[in-house]
Amino acid sequence: MSHTLDQAVAVAGYYPALASSVLRTAIADEAVHAHFVHAETTFDDREVRRHMTVLVVTDSRLIRVHMDDGSGHVEGAHEASATVETALLSSISNMAMTHVVHEPEKFGDGDTPSELVLAVGWGVHSRIELEPATCGDESCEADHGYSGGITGDDTLVRVSAIADGVETVRALGDFAAALQRSIGPRG
């Protein structure tokens, strides 16, 4: 595992020994060409939960490790789970990068976007979004069924300068550029 990936996992501070062990097993003997580590904390009614997503580009694969924590099986115990997903670079069917810019009138060439959202699809997961269909007549009470779409949802990472810092936004942009070069044009 590349020294900088190991450092990024350690700095994220989310069970670094577990994360490094899972990553080493997933990467095996391949070289790491690019990586992105994103740790995030979420809050619900009763708990604080932590998550971490690590994306790694090797010679032939995109590896995604996602870690979550939660309550253990025993009262008061704690546990974490790590899921590894692997896609051959040749199987990546799409990649989209959304750039969100607050106050776009002030944006200049070379400035960092306010947010970046990276979506990568390789045909493993899909998301169906449905909503009631309408005919456009506000007084119509007829049932027009549903409309919606199916979206590939294999990997989605969102970062913002406000929540994650400008360096994290830049790091995701750099990772996406390296991934784009790795999947390159198809012949």
- Candidate from 27-31, 91-95, 129-133, 157-161 with smallest mean pLDDT: 129-133
Using pLDDT thresholds of 50, 70 and 90, give the confidence band for residue 1. low
- Candidate from 14-18, 30-34, 76-80 with smallest mean pLDDT: 76-80
| 139: amino acid identity, one letter | S
Average pLDDT estimate for 17-22 = 95
What 107-115 contacts at long range (C-beta under 8 Å, 24+ apart), as own/partner pairs, is 112/161, 112/166, 112/169, 112/170, 112/173, 113/161, 113/169, 113/173, 114/160, 114/161, 114/162, 114/169, 115/158, 115/159, 115/160, 115/161, 115/169
The tens digit of pLDDT for each residue in 95-123 reads 999 999 999 999 999 999 999 999 998 87
- Candidate from 20-34, 36-50, 131-145, 155-169 with smallest mean pLDDT: 36-50
What percent of the chain is predicted at pLDDT more than 90? 60
Confidence at residue 28, expressed as pLDDT on a 0 to 100 scale: 94
For residue 173, pLDDT over 90 is answered with yes
Confidence at residue 94, expressed as pLDDT on a 0 to 100 scale: 86
Token pair in block for residue 127 = 């998301």
Mean of the per-residue pLDDT values for the chain? 87
Confidence at residue 100, expressed as pLDDT on a 0 to 100 scale: 96
